[in-house]
Structure 1
Amino acid sequence: MKAMNWVATLALLALVALGGFDIYRARARADEANRQTALATRYDRSAADAKGTLIGVSLREQAQKYHANAHVVAMEADNMRARGIAVFAAAGLVALLFFMTLWSRNHGPRVDLDDREHSLPA
């Protein structure tokens, strides 16, 4: 029985680590989205300076690509963050059930099967 408790505890810790890793990766992806947005803004400004030229059109196309990429990366970051929070919530529920089960085993009523058979109505 103690081995099962250790396995359940390790599985719970693995869930917490997985949720934390997802949130950490989501923050890194959000930083990448911010970098892409800043780069797109720079291209937008350069395209505005070179308005009406072939270089200005090319810079504007690059800015649109970076804006689109930043949007995709930001959506990935939001999904990772949501998944990490969901895994943390699942780990919390598993922990609650696990420790409630342990508590009820240690502090619940003790029933002796022999006494229960004799106390049943005839």
Structure 2
Amino acid sequence: MNFIIEGGVFFMVPLLVLLVLVLALFVKGLKSNTEKNADLLKSISLFSLAFGVLGFILGMLVALDFISMSSQGVSPQILASGIKVAMFSPTFGLVIFVVGRLADIILRWKRN
């Protein structure tokens, strides 16, 4: 769970909440499998992906701003570390997207 803090609380905590919501919708779908539940599951998983990418873009813009203000330059190690941290939110968003889509596939398969 360290990646939640490292990736930035502003984007990672809402993504964690969205993951819990996707899992709850999947469990609810196992009990009452409706089209409305499947549509909501797909929408939330897609939103998670977009929100994660937004976190990456905003993080990179801030990092590039600090790099441009630096008078001494930036070492490759610091740059690589910053890119690694910036990749946490889109990766987590992608994981939530895949989980949501797999849940949707399972629920559709169960319905048919």
Q: What TM-score do the two structures reach when normalised by structure 1?
A: 0.48
- Which structure 1 segments of 5+ residues have no match? 1-10, 94-122
Secondary structure of the corresponding residue to residue 89 of structure 1: helix
The residue type paired with residue 93 of structure 2 is: V
- Which structure 2 segments of 5+ residues have no match? 1-28
The question of whether the paired residues in 1 share the 8 Å contact of 2:49 and 2:94 is answered with yes
1:83 aligns with 2:83: no
Secondary structure of the corresponding residue to residue 33 of structure 2: helix
Return the structure number with greater relative CO, CA threshold 8 A, min gap 6. Answer: 2
Q: CA deviation at 1:52?
A: 6.1
The residue type paired with residue 36 of structure 1 is: G
Alignment of 1:50-61 (within 5 A): 50-51=69-70, 53=72, 60=79
Q: CA deviation at 1:21?
A: 2.1
1:20 aligns with 2:39: yes
Alignment of 1:1-122 (within 5 A): 14-16=32-34, 17-51=36-70, 53=72, 60=79, 63-91=83-111, 93=112
Q: CA RMSD in A?
A: 3.3
Q: CA deviation at 1:46?
A: 2.2
The residue type paired with residue 47 of structure 2 is: A
Q: What TM-score do the two structures reach when normalised by structure 2?
A: 0.52
Q: CA deviation at 1:47?
A: 4.3
Number of residue pairs matched by the alignment:
80
1:19 to 1:30, Cα distance in 2 relative to 1, 3 A? same
- Identical aligned pairs, as a percentage? 5
CA–CA distance in structure 1, aligned partners of residues 39 and 83 of structure 2: 33
Bigger Rg over Cα: 1
CA–CA distance in structure 2, aligned partners of residues 50 and 63 of structure 1: 18
CA–CA distance in structure 2, aligned partners of residues 85 and 20 of structure 1: 12
